[in-house]
Amino acid sequence: MRHELYRVTNLPVLQNRTFADPESAQASASADMLLVQDERSGLIFNAAFDADKLSYDADYQNEQAHSGQFQKHLSDVEGIIAKHFKGQELIEVGCGKGYFLELLKGLGYSITGIDPAYEGENADVIKAPFTRGLGLAADAIVLRHVLEHIEDPLSFLSVIAEANQGGQIYIEVPCFDWILEHKAWFDLFYEHVNYFRLDDLRRMFGTVHEAGHLFGGQYLYIVADLSTLRLTPEQPVPRLTLPDGFTASLERAVQIIQAAPEQGSAIWGASSKGVIYSLALQRAGVAVDRVVDINPAKQGRYLPLSGARVSSPQEAMDALPEGANLFVMNSNYLEEIKRMTGGRYVYHAVDSASFQ
């Protein structure tokens, strides 16, 4: 049995794929979300998900490491990995563009990466999905921001555990409790089929070495023994409900923009959150003047469905008048953005309690 939590139609299939022109962006694939909770496992997932719609390639851009604040987060992650896995052979499943893998290599780790969207030249990265047939094994597996993309996460972990003959694992995923607490409806994406809470991860393993929150509470992590993976929880799981007014902050943003259109407005952050937010604003009948991102690979390109063009910070600052409304998609970067822009705008951290 499962019960419905949330539904939304026509989301971008891949919110981090960018496009060379607005027409291609607006014509890109869309799909629906039907978020449910499985009453036996307690896991939360999109029951309308179809993995065949997803295809990762070089136009998929999700690198966050251009930010000093995010680099600090990666340093925090390395500290946890060092505590448990120092001196061991590692495999990073879903290593993306390889930034974290290179960081670990630079610190002396022995690590192999696996990712079909990898586009670098490192011979230690295999450009393929993880399968048992690769014949890879290591002392520990690093699984950062992968499990939320996998249709059957427990089966996937079971394949890894079997292929690796046990060993340890570090898992990091977005925190669904943080999304609920901050009413961050723009953190729900088609591409993320699963949404985890800390208790969900703990229930998956008999032996947990460490678990907690990272990145201002937005992410969860767990260090566990793969050989103790559980496919069903030992205890009944409480039923979840969404908070009242979960999407009410969208109307507040619409009112701010409509109240003074001459003031100018921009969304800062053209990754997942900003893609969903800009699309929702457009569908609500308003549009910001700019969508800004510090990732050069996104700049000058167009976002799926909305067709919004991504500006560099400098381009945006040259165009936006002082006092423009800046909708900051991730409050972890708020102070960094204020410093970068000289405090000349009105800043709205849309995931903060004051904006709910």
pLDDT, tens digit only, all 356 positions of the chain:
899 999 999 999 998 889 999 999 999 999 999 999 999 899 999 999 998 887 655 555 555 555 677 889 999 999 999 999 999 999 999 998 899 999 999 999 999 999 988 888 899 999 988 888 888 899 999 999 999 999 999 999 999 999 999 999 999 999 999 999 999 999 999 999 999 999 999 999 999 999 999 999 999 999 999 999 998 888 889 999 999 999 999 999 999 999 999 999 999 999 999 999 999 999 999 989 999 999 999 999 999 999 999 999 999 999 999 999 999 999 999 999 999 999 999 999 999 988 86
Distances (CA, A) of 334 to 165, 232, 254, 286, 337: 43, 40, 21, 23, 5
Q: Where are the alpha helices (DSSP H) in 8-106?
A: 22-26, 68-85, 99-106
pTM: 0.90
290 contacts 319 by C-beta, under 8 angstroms? yes
Indicate the CATH number of 249-355 among 3.40.50.720, 3.40.50.300, 3.90.1580.10, 3.65.10.10.
Answer: 3.40.50.720
* Euclidean distance between CA atoms 46 and 7, whole angstroms: 9
* Euclidean distance between CA atoms 192 and 5, whole angstroms: 15
* pLDDT score at 1: 86
Which H/E stretch holds residue 159? helix 153-164
Write down the CATH number for the domain with range 1-244. Answer: 3.40.50.150
* Euclidean distance between CA atoms 311 and 34, whole angstroms: 32
* pLDDT score at 130: 86
CATH 3.40.50.720 occupies which residues in the chain?
Answer: 249-355
Helix (H, G, I), strand (E, B) or coil at 218: coil
Looking at the DSSP bridge assignments, the partners of residue 3 are 37
* pLDDT score at 61: 54
Sheet (strand 44-46) strand order: 2-12, 30-38, 44-46, 194-195
Q: Which two tokens stand for residue 286?
A: 């308003």
Q: What angle do CA 351, 249, 337 make, to 5 degrees?
A: 35
* Euclidean distance between CA atoms 12 and 226, whole angstroms: 34
CATH 3.40.50.150 occupies which residues in the chain?
Answer: 1-244
343 contacts 322 by C-beta, under 8 angstroms? no
